[in-house]
């Protein structure tokens, strides 16, 4: 599972509540509390932060993964911006993330709204919709690979629909669609559960009162449902986009980045640096990728700040 679907209250929430009373140095810290925290900080630093710093360091050199190296300054970075292969991978990855997050969120919200209405077998239906969450993306991609390359063309030929008679996986203009479909298929359940949780917290009286006032279902959705689940939309979108930007497993299982380099994500290009001899260059790419991911996350938080309504 690449995209984790949930996130609790804002990380700075504890500060907001405790802040006025005891901001800086309230009380004595029991030494054993350091013992609880410091080992985690140490392994986290060793396994995540140090590799990140090493990578950023080498991005300023001509290191090839082994042997000697010398400083290049920002030449790797300058080269990135005129490398069509790199620009293409960013174009593909950003476009893919944008399309997939919209598709997945719209479908998940629609399903959640439908599942929280008065329908029969609601629990059973929800159980089925959540299944994709528990299976490995790579295996799902292999299954869909077969469907896209064998069953879909067979079906299209049978009904005489020309454009789909050839596998879409081999079509440079359509292959990306297969990745959107499988990624959305896999990540909709997580978003669906978050929305369902959000929707069940909306009291029914609100809908009943607005129905009495003559509000149409669409008006109810726009004026009641949407503002109340806005916070959940934010959570889903941030974590969804982060997951989609790092897309890898699904592409490996569907297209391997092809045809040509039509569906090569940034992650795939970076991993190529380990075998391709351009280690330092791909570390510069990875550093830019980190900045892009962080910027997009921050932009999302800023853009949606204060839009959510709480009852």
Q: Binders of other proteins among 243-282, rule CB under 8 A?
A: 245-246, 248-249, 252, 266-267, 270-271, 273-274, 279, 282
User: Judged by CB, which is closer to other proteins: 36, or 81?
Assistant: 36
By CB under 8 A, residue 161 contacts other proteins? no
Q: Of residues 85, 95, 201, 303, which one binds other proteins by CB under 8 A?
A: 201
By CB under 8 A, residue 142 contacts other proteins? yes
* Interaction residues for other proteins, span 95-124 (CB under 8 A): 111, 114-115, 117-121
The site map against other proteins for 216-245 (x = CB under 8 A) is: ----------------x--x------x--x
Question: Minimum Å distance from CB 260 to other proteins?
Answer: 18
Bridge partners (DSSP) listed for residue 61: 71
Size of the residue set binding other proteins (CB under 8 A): 108
Residue recorded with tokens 């140490």: 42
Burial status of residue 102 (CB atoms within 10 A of its CB: 0-12, 13-18, 19 or more): middle
User: Judged by CB, which is closer to other proteins: 23, or 84?
Assistant: 23
**DSSP string for residues in 18-56:** HTTTS-S--SPPPHHHHHHHHHHHHHHIIIIIHHHHHHH
User: Judged by CB, which is closer to other proteins: 68, or 173?
Assistant: 68
> Alpha-carbon torsion 20, 25, 26, 29, what sign?
positive
Q: Are the C-beta atoms of residues 283 and 266 closer than 8 Å to each other?
A: no
Give one word for 257, left, alpha or beta, with left for phi > 0 and alpha for psi -120 to 50. left
By CB under 8 A, residue 133 contacts other proteins? yes
**DSSP string for residues in 177-189:** HHHHHHHHHHHHH
By CB under 8 A, residue 303 contacts other proteins? no
By CB under 8 A, residue 14 contacts other proteins? yes
Q: Are the C-beta atoms of residues 250 and 162 closer than 8 Å to each other?
A: no
């Amino acid at each position: 599972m690449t995209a984790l679907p949930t996130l609790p209250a804002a990380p700075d929430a504890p500060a907001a509540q405790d802040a006025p009373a005891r901001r800086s140095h309230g009380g004595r810290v029991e030494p054993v509390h350091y013992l609880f925290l410091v080992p985690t900080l140490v392994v986290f630093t060793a396994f995540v932060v140090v590799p990140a710093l090493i990578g950023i360091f080498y991005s300023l050199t001509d290191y090839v993964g082994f042997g000697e190296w010398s400083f290049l300054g920002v030449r790797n970075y300058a080269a990135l911006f005129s490398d069509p292969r790199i620009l293409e991978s960013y174009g593909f990855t950003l476009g893919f993330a944008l399309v997939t997050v919209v598709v997945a969120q719209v479908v998940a919200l629609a399903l959640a709204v439908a599942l929280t209405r008065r329908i029969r077998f609601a629990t059973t239906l929800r159980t089925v919709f959540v299944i994709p969450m528990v299976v490995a993306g790579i295996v799902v991609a292999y299954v869909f690979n077969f469907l896209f390359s064998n069953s879909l063309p067979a079906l299209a030929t049978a009904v005489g629909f020309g454009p789909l008679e050839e596998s879409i996986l081999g079509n440079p203009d359509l292959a990306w669609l297969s990745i959107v479909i499988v990624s959305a298929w896999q990540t909709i359940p997580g978003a669906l559960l978050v929305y369902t949780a959000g929707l069940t917290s909306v009291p029914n009286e609100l809908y009943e009162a607005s129905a009495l006032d003559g509000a149409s279902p669409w008006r109810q959705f726009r004026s009641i449902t949407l503002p109340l689940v806005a916070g959940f939309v934010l959570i889903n979108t941030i974590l969804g986009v982060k997951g989609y930007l790092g897309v890898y497993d699904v592409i490996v299982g569907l297209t391997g980045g092809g045809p040509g380099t039509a569906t090569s994500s940034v992650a795939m290009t970076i991993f190529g640096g380990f075998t391709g001899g351009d280690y330092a260059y791909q570390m510069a790419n990875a550093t830019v990728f980190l900045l892009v991911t962080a910027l997009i996350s921050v932009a999302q938080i800023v853009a949606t700040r204060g839009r959510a309504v709480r009852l």
